Amino acid sequence: MKNIDLAKKIKELRTRKGFSQDELADTAGVNLRTVQRIESGETEPRGDTLKRLAGALGVTSDELIDWAEQEDSGFLVFLNLSALSFIAFPLLGIIVPLALWFLKKDKIKNLNEMGKSLINFQISWCILFFLLYAVPISAFIFHWHFGLGVREIMSMMFIIVFLYAVNGIFIIVNSYRSYKGKKVFYKPALKLLK
């Protein structure tokens, strides 16, 4: 989809700076034809081109993209619900949302921040889950070394089931919040994606 809003914003910033298309191309280190195609809406700048243009225009890539992002609460809900894939296998709760976030992070308003929050929470949850999963299995195999009985192992298994429930509740509640346009709340979480 051609992004007319982004094209207009780049043209507006260029004229404010007093640049011609040729001067913007030289300053950004991109081809003149690229600038012409972007401003006419024929193509969208991505990756390095976007960063170069933003730098030449004196804004950040995120600020430039914010003007062009679309609102899509349906995709935000879908992103949140995709984390429920942890039910099949815990790491899927990271992989699926990460793929969706990476695919659309620059296209949908609020997706970048929400995706980072969700993925950080899922990574934190997986670390905790695997730590608690490894202990009961190790205790069961080597029970004579740890002195853990069946009651302790069952308690640890209850904690694992509890963690699954908490993760599911967080996902469902935040899916609803994103549907209503409210800020999501995925805490506590390690800040791995910033």
Q: Of all residues in the chain, what percent carry a pLDDT higher than 90?
A: 35
Residue ending a domain, choose from 42, 66, 90: 66
HSE-up (13 A, CA, CB side) for residue 21: 12
CATH number at residue 17: 1.10.260.40
In the prediction, which pLDDT does 1 show?
Answer: 37
Domain-ending residue, one of 50, 66, 82? 66
pLDDT of residue 2: 45
β-bridge partners, 108: 70
Judge whether 92 lies within some domain: yes
User: 132-175: per-residue pLDDT in tens?
Assistant: 776 666 666 665 555 566 777 777 778 888 989 999 999 999 99
59 DSSP 8-state letter: S
Can you give the pLDDT at residue 43? 85
What does pLDDT average to over the chain?
Answer: 84
User: What CA–CA distance (Å, rounded) separates 133 from 88?
Assistant: 15
Residues 56, 92, single domain; the answer is: no
What is the reported pLDDT for 143?
Answer: 58
Model pLDDT, residue 70: 63
- Separation of alpha carbons 37 and 75, rounded Å: 28
Task: Answer whether residue 53 shows pLDDT above 80.
Answer: yes
Domain count, the chain: 2
Is residue 129 in a domain?
Answer: yes
In a domain, 192, yes or no: no
Is 60 in the same domain as 84? Answer: no
Are 61 and 82 part of one and the same domain?
Answer: no
pLDDT-derived band at 110, boundaries 50, 70, 90 = confident
Domain residue limits at 49: 4-66
Contact 175, 169 (CB under 8 A): no
Handedness of CA 131, 132, 137, 138 (dihedral sign): positive
- Both 24 and 53 in one domain: the answer is yes
Q: What pTM was computed for the model?
A: 0.61
Q: Evaluate whether residue 187 is within a structural domain.
A: no
**């209850």: which residue's tokens?**
158
Residues 114 and 175 in one domain: yes
Q: Are residues 14 and 44 in the same domain?
A: yes
What is the per-residue pLDDT across 83-107, written as a single tens digit (0 to 9) for each?
999 999 989 999 999 999 988 876 7
User: Does one domain contain both 174 and 88?
Assistant: yes
The pLDDT score that the predictor gives to residue 147 is 58
